[in-house]
Amino acid sequence: MPPLPLPIHTKRLVIRRFHDSDLCGLHELHSDVGVAAYLSRGVRHLEEVKQALTRRMAPADIERDGDGVILAVVVVATGHLIGEVSLWLRDARSGSAEVGFALVPAAQRQGYAREAMTALLALAFDVLGLQEVFGTADQRNVASMTLMRRLGMQEHEEDRDGAPLVAFSITRQDWQRQS
Ligand SMILES: CC(C)(COP(=O)(O)OP(=O)(O)OC[C@H]1O[C@@H](n2cnc3c(N)ncnc32)[C@H](O)[C@@H]1OP(=O)(O)O)[C@@H](O)C(=O)NCCC(=O)NCCS
């Protein structure tokens, strides 16, 4: 696949690779109990966040199943790291990928996740040429489900390992139709 054209600039945000200097911001995000409530990773302590930052800074290709990238979301006006978005290739042959997203509480409900995820979907479909993007949310995670609906993703019931998850997906055709 083509190299990722990073950073990505949106109206208010820059979406870029992580740097060493992001440790404090990433720690704020990963140590927040509310943010972690519906994430499989749980709350992280500083040492775990340092390891997570190292993983995020490693060179990333999106070629094979399981490859992916986690990108920092930064507000241009303040320079503050407010969250992260991720894209994981699940099936290279069919062109299917999974997305993830998390923002610090202070930055939530201001349209930032929608702005960042719109840019990530554009990257997935328009640059990488993927065919389908999906995401999952705990059925109690209203914010996540609302965000995916607003992105034009369609809802499918799913029960994965007994966890009450709702899956959402959008195809390349639907993305192009709504863009
Ligand atoms: C999910 C999350 C990224 C949404 O971020 P956000 O920046 O607040 O989302 P936006 O402001 O772009 O809002 C997108 C839509 O969701 C709605 N929304 C956001 N938070 C909401 C909430 N708590 N309850 C109801 N609706 C909510 C917004 O109103 C908006 O809908 P609208 O266009 O009709 O107004 C954020 O809540 C978060 O980081 N949560 C913790 C981590 C997490 O759960 N990640 C997802 C795991 S699957």
3-state secondary structure the chain: CCCCCCCEECCCEEEECCCHHHHHHHHHHHCCHHHHCCCCCCCCCHHHHHHHHHHHHCCCCCCCCCCEEEEEEEECCCCCEEEEEEEEEEECCCCEEEEEEEECHHHCCCCHHHHHHHHHHHHHHHHCCCCEEEEEEECCCHHHHHHHHHCCCEEEEEEECCEEEEEEEEEHHHHHHHC
* Average pLDDT for 165-176: 96
pLDDT in the model for residue 156:
87
Question: pTM of the entire structure?
Answer: 0.96
Domains of the chain: 8-178 (3.40.630.30)
Give the pLDDT of residue 159.
62
What pLDDT, on a 0 to 100 scale, did the predictor assign at position 129? 96
| pLDDT value of position 3 | 82
24 Cα to the center of ligand 1, angstroms: 23
Q: With bands split at pLDDT 50, 70 and 90, how would you rate the model's confidence at 9?
A: very high
State in Å: Cα 105 to ligand 1 middle.
10
The string of pLDDT tens digits covering residues 114-145 is: 999 999 999 999 999 999 999 999 999 999 99
Nearest residue CA, atom 12 of ligand 1?
111
Please tell me if the CB atom of residue 134 comes closer than 6 angstroms to any atom of ligand 1.
Answer: no
pLDDT at 163: 67
Write out pLDDT tens, residues 16-61: 999 999 999 999 999 999 999 999 899 999 999 999 999 999 998 8
- The answer to whether the CB of 139 falls within 8 A of the CB of 168 is no
